[in-house]
Structure 1
């Protein structure tokens, strides 16, 4: 299984499939090694085509591809795993479908008891957020830095911070114990996506030094 630490690129809603692949390739070139394909607007044939293309691209960079909320698509393209929200299915059932080798991520928002339950059900990482106001989900519940500190002592699985993360506000989350930083807007809207990805990866390297 891939190491669950570092920048976690979540794909933006992008009508241009070729443009999406170029942007993800730039993030991978910058050192990102975990990508989640999230697509709420494309028709299913387009989602399948994009997922296959992203699978080939991430393999080229020895990177991990997760699919948002779709176990069938995960299996179809042999992605590395699935990320599920609280309303997107039973985690224990998803683990049984995926098998032990695939990655299962779970959104737990600001609910620590849900995180404990998700870990017990077989989740490989827990996502807390929104940690900051999010342009993607402006009404999302706010998760505090304390959740990551608590997770370090009470959970054995990695944690992921999501929501409104930028290069300027990311360091305190890593310091508090976040293993993954899930980023959409600040990464894919950057003037140089590869450079922005590299800058995020440096934050993790500096935290370990």
Structure 2
């Protein structure tokens, strides 16, 4: 996938949820039009690597029917035994060249950024596919992340043309408040996963993105 194709609604899912509930919500979210899916590395205590790989494989099969790439959060080693499309790093990894060598195939690479534009510059220099800013607003899913200043996003667009995603407390209604910022999509967790109608909620996000 070329990085200019990375855009739209990006869903981060929590594998610590009841898996029957989680898979149903993922299926409904896919029907609602998500474009990218990331599995957060928030695994249940004691879950084996085999069981992680089995769950990942099932999610990949679900998402594949909709042409949606599935990424893993930080646990890049899981790319070696699964068909994951990529990895999202929460911070700059120690040796990205060694990671790429060990994975042994092309993969989508993204990274979280707060207000430190050095992360954006590093992502540009290391041919990353996207940057996700967190958090734009307070959210129960992002813990104690600092709030990203709009000016940071503006300056990021001046130094790179790679796709930029915004995340953290973003609701469909708050997308209007992001007017004037150049970004390619929004990433959500609880905004969809905590909703009783994830398909409709995903559609609401997409409608808001189209209108902006």
TM-score by length of 1: 0.90
Q: Are the equivalent residues in 1 in contact too, given 2:185–2:209 (CA < 8 A)? A: no
After alignment, is 46-55 or 167-176 more displaced?
A: 167-176
Q: Does 1:47 align with 2:52?
A: yes
1:32 to 31, 34, 43: 34
Deviations 1:59-100 (A, max 9, x none): 111111111111121232211110011165433433444567
- For residues 83 and 12 of structure 1, the distance between their equivalents in structure 2, rounded to whole angstroms, comes to 14
* Matched length: 207
Unaligned runs of 5+ in 2: none
Look up the SS of the partner of 1:176 in the other structure: coil
Q: What does residue 130 of structure 2 align with? A: 125
Shift of 1:13: 4.6
Look up the SS of the partner of 1:199 in the other structure: helix
Shift of 1:191: 2.3
- After superposition, the CA RMSD in angstroms is 2.0
Shift of 1:167: 1.6
Unaligned runs of 5+ in 1: none
Look up the SS of the partner of 1:106 in the other structure: strand
TM-score by length of 2: 0.89
Q: Does 1:194 align with 2:196?
A: no
- For residues 107 and 100 of structure 2, the distance between their equivalents in structure 1, rounded to whole angstroms, comes to 8
Shift of 1:204: 2.3
Deviations 1:96-115 (A, max 9, x none): 44567321001122211121
Q: Are the equivalent residues in 2 in contact too, given 1:92–1:122 (CA < 8 A)? A: no
